[in-house]
Amino acid sequence: MDSKKVVIGTLGSHSALQILKGAKDEGFPTLIVTIPKHKEFYKTFQFIDEVICIDSFSEFPSIENELIKRCVILIPHGSYVAYLGFEKNKNMKVKYFGNKNVLDWESDRDKQKEWLSTARINMPKQYELNDDISFPVIVKSHGAAGGNGYFLANDMTELKEKISTFEHKKYVIQQYIVGVNLYVHYFYSPLTKRLEIMSMDRRYETNVDSLGKIPHDIQKEIHINPSYVVVGNSELVLREGMLSKAYEMGRDVIEASKKLVDKRGLYGPFCLETIITPDQNFHVMEISCRIVAGTNLYINGSAYSWLNYNEPMSTGRRIAREIKKAIKENELDLLLD
């Protein structure tokens, strides 16, 4: 790849605006691949140099030769996983920001559990159907489903009944933790070996976050099953006394990945999805190994990025800055797969 011709590209959804604004602020040409319904919208932004339209996101691999010719570096985000699927994502040959070997460990919940346990991260208890289960539990399918299709069960009868009609064959049964949800956004630089907390968010999930607005008497009558589909994100800063623990969890996950995945391990942006209980303990539900959409709150930087940079620094811009540094130091191979 000719590093002087690098174009930063991504799929048009999820966090594409943040990624491409950041790339343009760092001086790169930018390109977006999107579907007809979003095309006009993305064309309104001056920092996007080119909009390529395909009929559906799953057709993305069909234009990969064109992207390779154009020296595009793809920045992956949640839509890659959601719409391309694991195999297509792995098999694409366009230069990709990140270590694709991490995908095997992220997409399989058993491997993810092994990874987080190796990092000594506290997780909600996981059960098999014939275990002595302490209820309530949440049942979750494998893969990034954005909370889609999860369900809660409060006793064994309800659990067995709901599992018998569950459309997903691979799932986990997890202890349901009552606490504050906090998503911590990190960036690990393979060039400087430095870890940063970039920002944090909470999610707004429908309909579970609205159930509390209904008086208990009515809740009991109408039997609404909570669903966890994310529709937006809001800001939160963490009690400062808990920040060092959040940092250490990120550090330990990186160290464990270097042992389990390969020598390069996880790098770039990632997120630990936590629930914090009244004893101020973090319970980590999941790890996302790429930019998460909660970072969209901070296109102009966050309270935490401001501590490290005296300029607006989104996660999208931080990625572009890493690529720029790697080009300058002739180390681009360290960042790409």
Select 189 or 295, whichever has its Cβ closest to ligand AMP.
295
139 scored as a contact of ligand AMP (CB under 6 A)? no
The rounded distance, in Å, linking the Cα atoms of 23 and 41 is 19
17 scored as a contact of ligand AMP (CB under 6 A)? no
34 scored as a contact of ligand AMP (CB under 6 A)? no
109 scored as a contact of ligand AMP (CB under 6 A)? no
CB 20 within 8 A of CB 48: yes
Using the contact rule CB under 6 A, the part of the chain among 48-56, 68-76, 94-102, 141-149 near ligand AMP is 141-149
Q: What are phi and psi of 137, to 5 degrees?
A: -125, 160
14 scored as a contact of ligand AMP (CB under 6 A)? yes
Per-residue contact flags (x/-) with ligand AMP for residues 40 to 69, judged by CB under 6 A: ------------------------------
- How far apart are CB 75 and ligand AMP at their closest, in Å? 14
Among 273, 299, 327, 332, binds ligand AMP (CB under 6 A): 273
The number of CA neighbours under 13 Å toward the Cβ of 323 is 33
Using the contact rule CB under 6 A, the part of the chain among 103-111, 171-179, 216-224, 256-264 near ligand AMP is 171-179
* 224-263 residues near ligand AMP, rule: CB under 6 A: 228, 230, 232-233
- How far apart are CB 181 and ligand AMP at their closest, in Å? 5
Among 76, 78, 268, 301, binds ligand AMP (CB under 6 A): 78
Among 68, 286, 325, 327, binds ligand AMP (CB under 6 A): 286
203 scored as a contact of ligand AMP (CB under 6 A)? yes
13 scored as a contact of ligand AMP (CB under 6 A)? yes
Which amino acid makes up residue 120?
R
Select 205 or 337, whichever has its Cβ closest to ligand AMP.
205
Among 72, 75, 119, 177, binds ligand AMP (CB under 6 A): 177
Select 174 or 302, whichever has its Cβ closest to ligand AMP.
174
Three-state SS sequence of the chain: CCHHHCEEEEECCCCHHHHHHHHHHCCCCEEEEECHHHHHHHHCCCCCCEEEECCCHHHHHHHHHHHHHCCEEECCCHHHHHHHHHHHHHHCCCEEECCCHHHHHHHCHHHHHHHHHHCCCCCCCEECCCCCCCCCEEEEECCCCCCCCCEEECCHHHHHHHHHCCCCCCEEEEECCCCEEEEEEEEEECCCCEEEEEEEEEEEEEEHHHHHHCCHHHHHHHCCCCCEEEEEEEECCCCHHHHHHHHHHHHHHHHHHHHHCCCCCCCEEEEEEEEECCCCCEEEEEEECCCCHHHHHHCCCCHHHHHHCCCCCCHHHHHHHHHHHHHHCCCHHHCEC
Among 275, 299, 332, 334, binds ligand AMP (CB under 6 A): 275
Closest to 9 measured CA to CA, from 79, 72, 82, 78: 72
149 scored as a contact of ligand AMP (CB under 6 A)? no
Among 146, 162, 206, 325, binds ligand AMP (CB under 6 A): 146
107 scored as a contact of ligand AMP (CB under 6 A)? no
Closest to 267 measured CA to CA, from 319, 307, 326: 319
Among 71, 211, 285, 334, binds ligand AMP (CB under 6 A): 285
* Interface with ligand AMP (CB under 6 A): 13-14, 78-79, 82, 124, 138, 140, 144, 146-147, 150, 174-177, 181, 203, 205, 228, 230, 232-233, 273, 275, 285-286, 293-294
